[in-house]
Amino acid sequence: MTTTENQANPIGFGRMLRKEDARFLRGKGNYVDDLNLPGMLHGAVLRSPYAHARIKSIDISAAQAHPKVKAVITGEILETLNLAWIPSLSHDVVAVLATDKVRFQGQEVAFVVAEDRYSARDALELIEVDYEVLPPVVDAKKALDKDAPVIRDDIAGKVDNFIFDWESGDKAATDEVFANAAIVVNQDMLYPRVHPAPMETCGAVAYMDPIDQKLTIYSTTQAPHAHRTLYALVAGLPEHKLRVVSPDIGGGFGNKVGIYPGYVLAIVGSILTKRPVKWMEDRSENLMSTSFARDYHMKGSIAASADGKILGLRVDVLADHGAFNNTAQPTKFPAGFFHVFTGSYDLMAAHCSVRGVYTNKAPGGVAYACSFRVTEAVYLVERMVDRLAQELKMDPAELRMKNLLRPEQFPYTSPTGWEYDSGEYPRALRLAMDIAGYEELRKEQAQKRAKGELMGIGISFFTETVGAGPKRHMDILGLGMADGCEVRVHPTGKAVVRLSVQSQGQGHETTFAQIVSEVTGIPPEDIDVVHGDTDNTPFGLGTYGSRSTPVSGAAAAIAARRVVDKARIVASAMLECAPEDLEWEKGRFNIKGDKSVGKTMAEIALGAHGTVELPEGVEGHLNAECVYDPPNLTYPFGAYICVVDVDPATAKVSVRRFIAVDDCGPRINPMIVEGQVHGGLADGVGMALMEVIAFDEDGNNLGASFMDYLIPTSLECPSWETGATVTPSPHHPLGLKGVGESATVGSPPAVVNAVIDALAPYGVKHADMPLTPAQVWQAMQGAPYRT
């Protein structure tokens, strides 16, 4: 495999500038909000100012009388179309527009369609809603109190805010391990509610063509095919008359997996007005009402022998799912993949239980590069291991080295049933320690402590679980998670690859061309990648859970191999020899033993489309397709080390260095992988130090703008130091593992571990994220404090 380190386009894998940047860098991207269809109208959503209130009446007459308003839609009107409520992704229902009650601040109450965006927004002010304010449930820990207000009284017979109980692992075996362990450490921790906050907010343009009755929905979606099928199932629209187009997406990060009320409202608006309708939310709407992430209250316990052999792990989770259970994960897993929480260690037993509750907050939960909640799982185990190191007075690197899974244990089945495909963990940790100069850093830390300076070194080692998923275990609302790919080679040897996944910034137009190039030898610049249009791409479930490379990448590799297999037959017909007498040399077939006689892919393509006589039963042209049902997920991993300085006077944390060694198998494009890692590390610094969606006691969202919801900038980030090891996946056709969420999953515990390490002279054992100066200051004063 080529690993060309220059920026010239390689054949196959290697560093290569992104093809899509030709338009992005010139400001020529084509986002949903760039669309301007003839006669297009604009929609705006009226949202609830209250977290919990009964709707007594809605008066839309003044809004309807506005000269530029074309339609005003309420929940009552949607009820007549059977669209007031739609199924959620987790066997619940979600209100498109509130009918009975509003259940979180920012919930959709009415929709105005007008000639222009300004008039639509102006008309919202003319709608009179009479609310009866109800007490809200804001604290998940109080959601199950006897006297807690019942949020979901729309569900027949519902008398509490309980959603589900779910568990994994062997409870009895775990209890026994704990009963016999020399050391048990307990730690409560919160992974706070955060938001993916993509640069582009969510939006849609819907157009129902009144002539051919075809509905086209241009929307910010990570999963166009899944959306189309769900629209068909929910609204009873014929699927062949539905086209979902996802143009350029300005960041998804899980925020654009689900179907939002606004999309449905744009569709209904278009059906009612017979004109295209655009709906585009603003920043506050995005932060207040779309998929949040995390909000896991965790009670962890870790058991070990006196000399630091980790024996068992258990955790009880209270999961705040907001007002509707609309988390997006494979059906059988209400807590996503949280039960991979034993992480990278070889333990005897483990058990987790998760209880989901409703609160008066926006729904969601699975977003923000979470790998279906592996983020929460990695945070839990990596904080617990550090807590254990603290109690044992053992170096956290040494404790990890002692307990990491060893290469010969792979494939490894975890105590909760995951089969890790491959790994060389100690090598990755050693490399990270070498890059960091770990031993020297510890010496420096000791010298600084002697002077009263606070320096901290934090480690995390993570195992990711990506590439959902095998059909036998995983589906989303009954749809299997296979992905399709079609490769078509044109007569002159150029090619087009059609994918079911959808890039939101990950660079698929480049990397999928590189995959096909790697297999066929056609240069990547001669391969066009088509995605994001259900009329022009094969079915598949879309991009999330870093599944594009593990699933769709495998489909592309196999389809490309099928092209090469076919090319061999065509070449043999052209050269009048047997297919077995040919030898493949990336991009051409030669007669075995004589490189001077052969045919290039371009010549073969022309032959396949030309008059060459092919053997009986072999069809012409040079196309192939594949639907890939992955046999297992892929398990990328990494070792991260963070160095922080804490100002003892102001409690401000500065991240001085961050070392990240990632192993995602072979790298298609090392530059893109580094970009993915850099972005994820910034996410981690953000979550660890500043990001949180906080609420006041009335359920008011306190983070509804970037003035209040802080995201990291280059000023808070050090110059990342990255490294790589390469452990191929044994089951992926090219050995590839996903990487898109690795750094977001792996980095928060490294930062938190570093801060807690810095605060050791104060006896601090734990403090919850975000570690703002106020939070760190309180920890230094010994007072437990929560944002």
- 544 counts as binding ligand CUM under rule CB under 6 A: yes
Contact set with ligand MCN (CB under 6 A): 198, 251-254, 369, 504-508, 511, 543-549, 664-665, 667-669, 672-673, 676, 679, 736-741
Question: 506 or 722: whose CB is closer to ligand MCN?
Answer: 506
- Tokens 């007490």, residue? 135
Q: Which long-range contacts (CB under 8 A, 24 or more apart) does 595-600 make?
A: 598/571, 599/571, 599/574, 599/575, 600/493
Number of residues in contact with ligand CUM under rule CB under 6 A: 14
Closest-CA residue to 221 (of 240, 200, 241): 200
- How many whole angstroms separate alpha carbon 604 and alpha carbon 491? 9
Question: Pattern of binders to ligand CUM over 232-271, x per CB under 6 A?
Answer: --------------------xxx--x--------------
Whether the Cβ atoms of residue 11 and residue 4 lie closer than 8 Å to each other = no
Whether the Cβ atoms of residue 677 and residue 742 lie closer than 8 Å to each other = yes
| Residue 673 partner contact from ligand CUM, ligand MCN, none using kind-dependent CB cut-offs of 5 to 8 Å | ligand MCN
**Which of 84, 110, 369, 441 is close enough to bind ligand CUM by CB under 6 A?**
369
- 292 counts as binding ligand CUM under rule CB under 6 A: no
Query: How far is residue 99 from each of residues 107, 269, 593, measured CA to CA in Å?
Result: 11, 18, 76
Question: 96 or 466: whose CB is closer to ligand CUM?
Answer: 466
Closest separation between CB of residue 678 and ligand MCN, Å? Answer: 10
| Residue 676 partner contact from ligand CUM, ligand MCN, none using kind-dependent CB cut-offs of 5 to 8 Å | ligand MCN
| Residue 549 partner contact from ligand CUM, ligand MCN, none using kind-dependent CB cut-offs of 5 to 8 Å | ligand MCN
Collapsing DSSP to helix, strand or coil, 46 comes out as: strand
Structure tokens at 678: 């850099």
Question: 330 or 415: whose CB is closer to ligand CUM?
Answer: 330
The backbone torsions φ and ψ at residue 448, rounded to the nearest 5 degrees and listed phi first, read: -70, -40
Strand partners, 456: 644
Q: Which stretch binds ligand CUM (CB under 6 A): 70-78, 307-315, 361-369, 701-709?
A: 361-369
Sign, CA torsion 751/753/756/758:
negative
- How many whole angstroms separate alpha carbon 468 and alpha carbon 366? 14
Residue 467, class by beta-carbon neighbours within 10 Å (0-12 exposed, 13-18 middle, 19+ buried)? buried
Collapsing DSSP to helix, strand or coil, 319 comes out as: strand
Give the contacts of 125 (CB within 8 A, at least 6 positions apart): none
Question: 268 or 736: whose CB is closer to ligand MCN?
Answer: 736
| Residue 667 partner contact from ligand CUM, ligand MCN, none using kind-dependent CB cut-offs of 5 to 8 Å | ligand MCN
Question: 107 or 514: whose CB is closer to ligand MCN?
Answer: 514
Closest separation between CB of residue 369 and ligand CUM, Å? Answer: 5
**Which of 178, 279, 368, 637 is close enough to bind ligand CUM by CB under 6 A?**
368
Question: 339 or 351: whose CB is closer to ligand CUM?
Answer: 339
Question: 415 or 738: whose CB is closer to ligand CUM?
Answer: 738
Question: Pattern of binders to ligand CUM over 98-137, x per CB under 6 A?
Answer: ----------------------------------------
**Which of 268, 366, 556, 743 is close enough to bind ligand CUM by CB under 6 A?**
366
| Residue 257 partner contact from ligand MCN, ligand CUM, none using kind-dependent CB cut-offs of 5 to 8 Å | ligand CUM
- How many whole angstroms separate alpha carbon 407 and alpha carbon 419? 14
Question: 360 or 727: whose CB is closer to ligand MCN?
Answer: 727
Closest-CA residue to 734 (of 667, 636, 635): 667
Question: 133 or 199: whose CB is closer to ligand MCN?
Answer: 199
**Which of 249, 370, 559, 736 is close enough to bind ligand CUM by CB under 6 A?**
370
Collapsing DSSP to helix, strand or coil, 580 comes out as: helix
Strand partners, 244: 217
**Torsion from C-alpha of 133, 139, 141, 144, nearest 10 degrees:** 10
Q: Give the binding site for ligand CUM (CB under 6 A).
A: 222, 252-254, 257, 366-371, 544-545, 741
